[in-house]
Amino acid sequence: MKIALAADHGGYELKEVVKTHLQQNGIELLDLGCFAGDSVDYPNYGKACGEAVMNGEADSGIVICGTGIGISIAANKVKGIRCALCTSLFMAEMARKHNNANVLALGGRILEPDLALGIVDVYLTTEFEGGRHQRRVDLIDSI
């Protein structure tokens, strides 16, 4: 599994925590930045991650900004991306089981690192249920 990882300055610190966690678990990464805490524009990073997933450079993505809101909106502008902003383990589970999310969004200024890593782990280990949910995902993708 290869994960594309991208953040703006508001998500930079959490991105580095997530990056270390994923590397320690043997997950291959495509780090798309940012690479410091200097102010940058989150839409560029959300777009880059979404495009990496859609182009097959990564199997899934994780995007992080201060709240997760802006970068998730940007990622979702890439056709075919289903980016879910998750603030709980249950949201991460449902994002995968029911929505087949292919990008996870986190808020670097609203999540404690331990909770964020738990959300990442649930997101990465939960499978899409398919069935009746596939029809709904297809409807989303047709928009």
Q: Which of 111, 83, 103 is nearest to 11 (CA)?
A: 111
**Contact of 123 with 96, CB cutoff 8 Å:** yes
Burial (CB count <10 Å: 0-12, 13-18, 19+), residue 87 = middle
Q: Does residue 98 sit in helix, strand or coil?
A: coil
Q: Does residue 137 sit in helix, strand or coil?
A: helix
- Cα dihedral 106, 108, 113, 114 sign: negative
Catalytic residue among 49, 65, 83, 86: 65
Verify whether residue 83 is a known catalytic residue. Answer: no
Strand partners, 61: 4, 103
Q: Does residue 109 sit in helix, strand or coil?
A: coil
Verify whether residue 98 is a known catalytic residue. Answer: yes
Active site (catalytic) residues: 65, 98
